[in-house]
Structure 1
Amino acid sequence: MHAMKALVKERAEPGLWLVDVPEPVLGPGEVKIRVLRTGICGTDLHIRKFDDWARQTLTLPLIVGHEFSGHVVEVADGVEDIAVGDLVSGEGHLVCGKCRNCMAGRRHLCRNTIGLGVHRDGAFAEYLTLPATNVWVHRTPVHPDVAAIFDPFGNAVHTALSFPLVGEDVLITGAGPIGLMAAAVATHVGARNVAITDVSDERLNLATKLGVSLALNVSRDTLAEGMRRLNMHEGFDVGLEMSGNPAALRDMIANMTHGGKIAMLGLPAADFAVDWSTVVTSMLTIKGIYGREMYETWYNMSVLLEKGLDLSPVITDRFSYEDFDTAFNTAASGRTGKVILDWSA
């Protein structure tokens, strides 16, 4: 058995540990991948902190991480259309293939989904194995850094493309990496105004680099003031809630036009009150979003990049995997874009 380096949640306490573990062994229908880059996600921060969610969800020890890019090094017998040397990313939601939704081709709605780096060993390692059905081959050239963030980019694309955006006024609450990518998508596909809110000036500055109409710091300015600056009178047509913050959703609901549509990706930490009477009287649609559509979202992502969407401003920090502690602290600061770990050395 060969050993490899991996970031492991070894003990039921805060922290992650860089240790030697056995290389994964290729199973039937699987692909083995040499990891090049990984992205740090909010989920990984929860696991490192070992909060209530992590305590209830994880079986330890566990190799964490689910955002990655890498080269295929081995392919199981019978796997077609994936070759050694291919640059790949991976869909981190593994579905059962047997439930009603899977059988109907709605795999993103599988009731039995398990998560890479949450329910099974993940991508913060030199090698990982994944079912071939979860491997996305990059058929057009893409930088390994960008390929590593296809999972969160997919969250952004799935959310942004939930409702038609052409010519619409779009409000995005939360300028974290996924909010920033959603803003880039909304601008790219032809929304009229794209307003994004946050309380971090650093993140709002990144948003201006991506071409938004308005980046509003809601610790200083109101949405009403933002709408005045955009010369808007009737409220937003489409809302993308990316923060999980109760005030953000309440603010959004209060500033939607009648018949407005809201897609919610941000995961609240606790229950909170919502002004349901406004939802009813303004005839709003609220849609929950989780993960990516398999594999419609992946096609959308590849095509958007092919057509000139530039995600490079969203990636703000790069570290060697050996400096994972500094990288995680940077990601946890809430002031940066996407943080990448390099495993290629």
Structure 2
Amino acid sequence: MKALVKEKAEPGLWLTDVPEPVVGPGDVLIKVLRTGICGTDLHIRNWDGWAQGAVRAPLVLGHEFAGEVVETGRDVTDIAAGDLVSGEGHLVCGKCRNCLAGRRHLCRSTVGLGVGRDGAFAEYVALPAANVWVHRVPVDLDVAAIFDPFGNAVHTALSFPLVGEDVLVTGAGPIGLMATAVARHAGARHVMVTDVSAERLDLARKLGASLALDVSGATVADGQRELGLREGFDIGLEMSGRPEALRDMLANMTHGGRIAMLGLPAEEFAVDWARIVTSMITIKGIYGREMFETWYAMSVLLEGGLDLTPVITGRYSHDDYEAAFADAASGRGGKVVLDWTR
């Protein structure tokens, strides 16, 4: 089968032939229809310091996907051939304290699909049935392919109650954009989004931002005044991993404000801990999705009318992957999807 592979320990990707995955008794074989390109995939293609420490070549990339079940192992009873599915890309041990307590997203032995084992940038992918999400209601195929990052956005945005709250989203990348849509849909009063990309800020407005602020020419405090906020933001969703973004967020939170932080910093940085203490600010780290409560919430949000299609700004055939990766790396658009049926 064709697959997009990190063949060598150097920059680049290769579209090549690899063996089809073997299906074990508890596994599901899926014909891949669409895949989404993630920042993780960009790191692996570029072969930066993180990728060199996390990935062993050769490796089939990809963890965002939607596909059709074509075969199930003998022990699989609740998934059938023909089902439209997406996959939870964090494979957990099932035996640690958190797994046994139902907190699988906190497993210390998590293996990432397309990072620690062969992934979904291929014509077929095999996954344990426990990691397969069956779409029981109609869903746009491209949206189904980005359920993984959509889950990151939902996990982050719904970490704290949003009804009637004023929300600051720092970083209008694809997940920040989806979090903006979720926050608006979930009842936030104001949602202000910051970035330096005019194109992404335009997308934020389409997805319901009350104010999309270019912080290369204005400050978060300026935006706060424009919205008429007297005491600061109630909820912060930090999606950029940028030190200045978190510092500005902290400086503009109300006392007792709550921050969910998904953005992953490239290195350690200082923050004003005295402000965090004296303003009684809560900071919660977010990684991945809650299995499978977040997935349930995602499906319900879509059933309730949440429209994510504006987030998808690039659609390419899988054999045009070079152009697709260049689009995803440009920092100007939303999600980029690869079609594996053509």
Q: For residues 230 and 90 of structure 1, what CA distance do their matches in structure 2 show? A: 39
Q: Look up the match of 2:333.
A: 336
Deviation, structure 1 residue 40: 0.2
39, 54, 59: which one pairs with 2:56? 59
* Matching residue of 2:231: 234
Ranges in structure 1 where 5+ consecutive residues have no aligned partner:
none
Give the total of aligned pairs. Answer: 342
Q: Provide, for residues 271-323 of structure 1, a one-character-per-residue CA deviation record: whole Å limited to 9, x for no partner.
A: 11111111011110000000000000000000000000000000001000001
Amino acid at match of 2:267: A
User: Who is 2:211 aligned against?
Assistant: 214
User: Aligned partners of 2:279 and 2:23: how far apart in 1?
Assistant: 54
Deviations 1:118-146 (A, max 9, x none): 00000000000000000000000001100
Corresponding position of 1:130: 127
Instruction: Tell me, in whole angstroms, the C-alpha distance in 1 between the residues paired with 2:29 and 2:208.
Output: 39
- SS of the aligned residue for 1:286 comes to strand
1:344, distance to aligned residue in structure 2 (A): 1.2
Amino acid at match of 1:187: R
Structure 1 residue 342: Cα displacement: 0.3
User: Structure 1 residue 199: deviation in Å?
Assistant: 0.4
Q: Deviations over 1:179-221 (max 9, x none)?
A: 0000000000100000000000000000111111010000011
Q: Specify the alignment match of 2:288 in structure 1.
A: 291
Q: CA deviation at 1:81?
A: 1.3
Structure 2 match to 1:326: 323
Paired letter, 1:119: G
Structure-1 residue corresponding to 2:301: 304
1:317 and 2:332 are equivalent in the alignment:
no
2:279 paired with 1:282: yes
Aligned-partner SS, 1:22 = coil
1:108 aligns with 2:105: yes
Counterpart of 1:313 in structure 2: which amino acid?
P
How do 1:84-99 residues align onto structure 2 when only pairs under 5 Å count? 84-99=81-96
Partner AA of 2:86 in structure 1? S
Structure 2 SS opposite 1:260: strand
TM-score by length of 1: 0.99
The CA distance in 2 between the partners of 1:209 and 1:228, in whole Å, is: 22
Please state how far the C-alpha of 1:25 moved relative to its aligned partner.
1.4
Distance in 2, matches of 1:211 and 1:60, equals 41
User: For residues 55 and 236 of structure 2, what CA distance do their matches in structure 1 show?
Assistant: 33
Shift of 1:159: 0.2
* Residues 211-264 of structure 1, C-alpha deviations (whole Å, 9 max, x = no match): 110100000111111111111110000000000001000000000000000000
Match of 1:43 among 40, 44, 55: 40
Indicate whether 1:6 and 2:12 are aligned.
no
Aligned to 2:194: 197
Q: CA deviation at 1:80?
A: 1.3
Deviation of 1:339 (Å): 0.3
CA distance in 2, matches of 1:287, 1:223: 21
SS at the partner of 2:18?
A: strand
1:21 aligns with 2:15: no
Does residue 118 (structure 1) correspond to residue 115 (structure 2)? The answer is: yes
Other structure's SS at 2:56 match = coil
1:72 corresponding residue in structure 2: 69
Q: Report the CA distance between 1:27 and its aligned residue.
A: 1.2
Query: Which whole-Å CA distance do the structure 2 matches of 1:211 and 1:58 have between them?
Result: 37
- What is the match of residue 155 of structure 1? 152
* Partner Cα separation in structure 2 for residue 106 and residue 227 of structure 1: 37
- Partner of 2:277: helix, strand, or coil? helix
The whole-number CA distance in structure 2 between the counterparts of 1:300 and 1:127 is 27
3-state SS in 2 of match to 1:27: coil
Identity of aligned residues (%): 75
Measured in 1, the distance between the counterparts of 2:9 and 2:253 equals 44
Distance 2:220 2:99 in 1: 41
Q: How many angstroms apart in 1 are the aligned matches of 2:222 and 2:86?
A: 41
Helix, strand or coil: the match of 2:139?
A: coil
Question: How far does residue 115 in structure 1 lie from its aligned partner after superposition?
Answer: 0.3
Alpha-carbon RMSD across the aligned residues, in angstroms, is: 0.5
> C-alpha separation between the residues in 2 aligned to 1:115 and 1:148?
17
